[in-house]
Amino acid sequence: MANKLRELLLVRHAKSDWSQPDQLDIDRPLSDKGKKSAKKIGRWLQDKGLMPDLILVSPAQRAQQTLRRICSECPASSQTIDALYMAELVTLKQILAQISDANRVMVIGHNPGLEKLFCYLQNKPLTGDLHLFPTAAVAHFVLPENWQNLEPGDGILQQFIRPKDIKQPVLFA
């Protein structure tokens, strides 16, 4: 019997607002551009039928706001996971290893960890190019059913989308 496949949506939080430079990083909200981008990505995900069964999100305000804008009417359950805040590759893999009952999972988090996971799943070298996984970008992967021991190259990238790649206008920010 062939292995079942599951899907993973990696979402980097939308663009944050830096108008208050003394603000704690975890409390930094979305900028107006970030709000529009997240809404645009949410509409695209809905149009493509890619809404997740489970959403794991960083506790950072900008990640929480990204979630609300992407999935304002999303039926999926969401879980805030403290360890997702600025998580590195090893932590992201540990978090994914604990998921057993969802077929399509969305993770909303931060760079450089998401970029490292993005490269790891494709077995590609990390370039250090900050534009490889820009804010509000979505990477859609197909992965093996078992995520307990993900290896380099286990992910098959289905699509990668940035807000600027979407041609539809956003009516509401």
pLDDT digits (tens, 9 = 90+) for 15-26: 999 999 899 999
Domains present along the chain, CATH in parentheses? 9-165 (3.40.50.1240)
**Which residues contact residue 59 at a Cβ distance below 8 angstroms, ignoring those fewer than 6 apart?**
26, 80, 81, 82, 84, 85
Confirm if 10 and 118 have CB atoms less than 8 A apart: yes
Given a cut of 60, whether residue 51 has pLDDT beyond it is: yes
Interval 59-78: pLDDT, tens: 999 999 999 999 876 777 89
- pLDDT score recorded for residue 173: 45
| Residue 119 phi, psi dihedral angles, 5° rounding | -70, -40
Interval 131-171: pLDDT, tens: 688 999 999 999 999 999 999 999 999 999 999 999 865 55
- pLDDT score recorded for residue 101: 85
- pLDDT score recorded for residue 106: 96
With 0.75 as the threshold, say if the pTM is over it.
Answer: yes
Of residues 108 and 4, the one with the higher pLDDT is 108
Q: What is the mean predicted confidence (pLDDT) over 50-61?
A: 95
pLDDT, mean over the chain: 90
Q: What pLDDT band is residue 33 in, cutting at 50, 70 and 90? A: very high
- pLDDT score recorded for residue 1: 37
For residue 168, CA distances in Å to 21, 134, 140 come to 33, 19, 20
Confirm if 160 and 37 have CB atoms less than 8 A apart: no
Of residues 118 and 74, the one with the higher pLDDT is 118
CA-to-CA distance for 60 and 8, rounded, in angstroms? 21
